[in-house]
Amino acid sequence: MAVVSFPFPASVLGQEVVPDTASEEGHRPNANDKLESTPWSMTMFQGWTNNNSLNRTLRFLWSHSGEYIYSLDVAYTIPPTTGFGRFFDRLLAARVQVGGTLNTRRQPSGSWIPEVSAYAALRWRRLPWNHIVATSFAVGEGLSMVSQVPDIEIETAYVGGTSRLLNYVMLEMTLAVPSVPLVQLVGRIHHRSGAFGVFGDAVQSGSNTVALGFRVHM
């Protein structure tokens, strides 16, 4: 028997209309979409400071200086429904985050140096392979203050002096099981530098720490 179709919307015929979420939002569902409901996150990690520059660190050329860093980080993601969040979401497809980190740096001598860092970051987390491994990348910029200058920053100050207050750069990648994206494995580069003399005479002073840890979104 032939089926006759009528050129009327399903709502006129009394049928329930199921919206196409993917087409309405302009993208397909993604494992990291669950993070939209949890703007706060907490991270704990341990880091190993090395003797190399940021450039060499990014090329995986690491030489441990003997300093260890233990950190607690709290971050807040600005919702894309706000004007500021919407701007970066549409312009760069990124989420804006603000965060602060409490660090304690264990020196080779055994002494401890407290450190506080604050930053603003852009995070990219809607990646096409997230159904395999839920991933995100972030770049952050801010300030870092230590109670006293770490040994490694004194030893590597080849040009100029050192400073307790320095520029802070955070580079980060997270990995998670797609079904549990709220718990992530975190890899971070914790970078302090004088920004070529912006902070006093700290022309070439700073440190680079490679850190691993876990983040929980709340």
2 — pLDDT class (breaks 50, 70, 90): very low
- Please say whether the beta carbons of 52 and 195 come within 8 A: no
Residues 162-211: pLDDT tens digits? 889 999 999 999 999 999 999 999 999 999 998 877 887 777 788 999 99
Look at residue 5 in the predicted model and tell me its pLDDT.
43
C-alpha dihedral sign at 80, 84, 90, 92: negative
Look at residue 168 in the predicted model and tell me its pLDDT.
97
Q: For residue 23, what are its two tokens? A: 């087409």
Q: Tell which residue, 170, 161, 150, has the closest CA to residue 203.
A: 161
Residues 121-148: pLDDT tens digits? 999 999 999 999 999 999 999 999 999 9
Q: For residue 107, what are its two tokens? A: 């020196």
Indicate the burial class of 33 (C-beta count within 10 angstroms; 0-12, 13-18, 19 or more). Answer: middle
% of the chain at pLDDT higher than 90: 67
| Whole-number Å distance between alpha carbons of 105 and 131 | 37
Q: Which CATH architecture has domain 21-217?
A: Beta Barrel (2.40)
Q: Using DSSP, state whether 29 is helix, strand or coil.
A: coil
